[in-house]
């Protein structure tokens, strides 16, 4: 059997998971990165099928009913996000390193469904830095920021549930560390 190389990257909101995933997409094309389905509206510049599959509530309901999603969750109390199952299974069957960039609730579901997955927690250098990044992003309203910070506080407390922690001090260094972990024989031999 091929070794499973599924890795889950989770961590508090605005820690830079999306930036790390984008950096890996650019510099490590050998890593397959899952494209999630979401019911939230696209932000300027986001492309259907690249950043997310932007779907209606009815379409998301159908995916849940048909068990098309490996995991899914309501994130920040607003939209639903989920990982389409089939592309993950296909990437693993092809022996590729597969990466999911998802929230904590989703990471827990993957751990239960696929205990061999490697769970990586991405952590900010400090809480103040996390707040600064969230405010600096400027894409959310004040109310949305407050809601996301509340979620982030709970998410920070979940670090010990993960196999490994990476501190996101510098983007390239963090993604280098993540890919090195994905490549490590310990990871594949544990599968
Ligand atoms: P954003 O709306 O800023 O793109 O993402 C919000 C949050 O949703 C992020 O924490 C991201 O990790 C999470 N997320 C994205 N895709 C998925 C998914 O497929 N499943 C789960 N559980 N969370 C996701």
Atom 10 (ligand 1) nearest CA: 103
Q: How far is 87 from 70, CA to CA, in rounded Å?
A: 10
Question: How much distance in Å is there from the Cα of 1 to the middle of ligand 1?
Answer: 31
pTM for this structure? 0.90
How many of the other CB atoms lie within 10 Å of CB of 12?
28
Measured from the Cβ of residue 41, the count of other Cβ atoms closer than 10 Å reads 8
Q: Treating both helix axes as pointing N-terminal to C-terminal, what angle do 17-27 and 171-183 enclose, rounded to 10 degrees?
A: 70
Residues with C-beta less than 6 Å from any ligand 1 atom: 13, 17, 36, 40, 71-73, 75, 81-83, 101-103, 105-106
The architecture in CATH of the region 6-183 reads 3-Layer(aba) Sandwich (3.40)
* Local confidence pLDDT in tens for the 191 residues of the chain: 445 589 999 999 889 999 999 999 999 999 999 999 999 999 999 999 999 999 999 999 999 999 999 999 998 778 999 999 999 999 999 999 999 999 999 999 999 999 999 999 999 999 999 988 887 767 778 888 888 888 888 889 999 999 999 999 999 999 999 999 999 875 554 44
Q: Which atom of ligand 1 is nearest to the CA of 37?
A: 19
Residues 6+ apart with CB under 8 A from 57: 39, 80
Give pLDDT tens digits for 51-60: 999 999 999 9
Domain locations along the chain: 6-183
For residue 54, give both structure tokens: 């932007």
**Angstrom distance (rounded) from CA 80 to CA 97:** 26
Q: Which long-range contacts (CB under 8 A, 24 or more apart) does 112-116 make?
A: 113/70, 113/71, 114/4, 114/6, 116/4, 116/6, 116/190, 116/191
């Amino acid at each position: 059997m091929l070794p499973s190389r599924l890795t889950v990257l989770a961590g508090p909101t605005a820690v830079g998971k999306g930036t790390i995933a984008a950096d890996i997409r650019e510099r490590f094309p050998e890593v397959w990165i899952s494209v999630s389905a979401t019911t939230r509206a696209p932000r300027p510049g986001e492309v259907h099928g690249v950043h997310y599959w932007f779907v209606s509530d009815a379409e998301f309901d159908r995916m849940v009913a048909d068990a098309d999603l490996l995991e899914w969750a309501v994130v920040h109390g607003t939209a639903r996000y989920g990982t389409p199952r089939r592309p993950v299974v296909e990437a693993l069957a092809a022996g590729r390193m597969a990466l999911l960039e998802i929230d904590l609730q989703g990471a827990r579901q993957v751990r239960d469904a696929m205990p061999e997955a490697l769970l990586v927690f991405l952590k900010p250098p400090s809480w103040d830095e996390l707040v600064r990044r969230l405010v600096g992003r400027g894409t959310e309203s004040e109310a949305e920021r407050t809601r996301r910070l509340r979620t982030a506080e709970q998410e920070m407390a979940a670090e010990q549930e993960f196999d490994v922690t990476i501190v996101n001090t510098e983007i390239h260094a963090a993604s280098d560390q993540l890919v090195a972990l994905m490549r490590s024989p310990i990871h594949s031999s544990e599968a």
